[in-house]
Structures are given as structure tokens and as C-alpha cells.
Amino acid sequence: MQKREKMPFDSHIHLGRLPHPKELVKVLDQAGYAYNAIACEPAEWESLREIWQYSGLKEKGCNLAFGIHPMSVLQAKESHKQELRTFLERDGCFMVGETGLDRRFPEYGPGELQERWFLFQANLALELGRDLQIHCVGDYGRVIALLKKVGFGKAANGPQAIFHRFGGDIGSARQILDMGGLISVHSSTLTKKTSRLALAEIPRERLLFETDADETFWNATGSTDTPALVAESVAQRLLDALRDVREATENL
């Protein structure tokens, strides 16, 4: 993988779902690629933590997030609440998530399982003072209202809500900024006109960029899965998102 100048930070990558994650970590590291790696199902938590243990990635600006994705709430058990807390307490920098609401999956309605797991994780993030990786497909208004209700944005230096793969409009973006949150842009953000327009108003320091690279991203490339090629594709995707944002906001 070639080393590039000024590689942006990848705020959301599913490292454990890509081929050969242990080797991939080394290739990315050599290329100076830094990221937040997300483990959003209990079955992924331990393997991601193992990678972290021997890697020295924290010193290089990387971080991990542990949580339960709205797509996985039917498999989640009560015992996972304590297990999640234990993972988070192993390092004071670990984030919570990704968690949120997604209308494409079961138990989406108000008061249903997705919302209950989201509230649990949001409260845990506040209690432990950790940033929260948020996934939202369907209802930005409800996600933002729930975050405000539990207390996000109340303390000046409190944990931040990071809206991963942002797909909201300017109204949502303003509320997120008011709450002290961050907006993470994926190339898919630009396919929605309302989200594209919102980007023009968001200060650069509140914007992040991400690949959200996982097994679907990798399968779609159809390439040979050597760690070097995977790393190259991931880096290229991140640079594409950055270029798309520049082009889109310049033309507004």
C-alpha cells in the first residue's frame, strides 16, 4: 500500500469484518492510516480487542467502539449489558456503538427493542464519559430527541454524539451541532440532495470522514483479498469520499 500525504482519519470502519484483519492492521499502520474500528455485535468484541492489545494503535490515534447495532438487537441478551460495560472499562478511551435506529430491521417502533438498546448504550456512554457512534436510518428526529432526553449536549465537555454515515437534512445537522455532536460523511451522504445541501453549512472542524468498510464493501470490490489490496481499496474509498465532499460543497 502506498503511503500518502495527509491521509484523512477514517471515523468508522468495521475492521473485523474485512479479510485477514490482523495482517490488515499492520499494513494500514505502516501506511499511516488511522481510524475508529467498530465492533457492533457481541461476537466481534473480543477479536477486535485482541488486535488492539498488541498493536500500539492507541498511540497512533486509533480507537475502538463496542456496541450493539440496531440490526442485532434480536440476538442481544440481557447479559450483554454487563459484558459491554466490562469491554468499555478496559480502556478509558473506547467509544460506545454503533447503536441507533434503523427502520429496515425489526423492533424499530417507539419503545421497542432497538430503542431500548439505543437508550441503554446512550446512557452508558454518558455514565462512562465516552463518545457514542450513532447509526440512523429512518428517523433523525427521534434519535436526536432521545439523545437530548438522556442528556447529550448538556455538559460543555461531555461525550459527543457522532452521527455515522450522515443522511439527515440541514434541520437535523443544526440540532446535532447544537448538541455538540459530530457529523461523519460517507460517499453515500452525497447521494441525497438534502444531506448534500446540509454539508455546506457544517463547519469543517465538526465534519469527519469514513469508509464504513465491511464485508459488503469488500465483496463488492471482487478483488483478490490480500491484506495489501484490501488496505489499498479502503484508503481509496476514504479519499473518494473526501473528494466527493469537496466537489459537492464547491458547487453549491
Calculate the CA 61 to chain-centre distance.
Answer: 15
Minimum separation from the CB atom of position 186 to Zn ion (A): 9
Residue nearer to Zn ion on the CB measure, 221 or 226: 221
Considering the complex, state which of residue 10 and residue 139 has its C-beta at the smaller distance from Zn ion.
10
Q: With respect to Zn ion, which residue has the nearer C-beta, 35 or 120?
A: 35
CB of 14 to Zn ion, least distance (A): 6
Minimum CB distance to Zn ion, residue 250 (Å) = 28
Please give the size of the binding site for Zn ion, defined by CB under 5 A.
1
Q: Which is nearer to Zn ion, 212 or 244 (CB)?
A: 212
Each residue 192-231 as x (binds Zn ion by CB under 5 A) or -, in order, gives: --------------------x-------------------
CB of 115 to Zn ion, least distance (A): 19
| Residue 17 backbone phi and psi in degrees, to 5 | -100, 0
Q: Which amino acid is residue 174, in one-letter code?
A: R
Q: Which residues bind Zn ion (CB under 5 A)?
A: 212
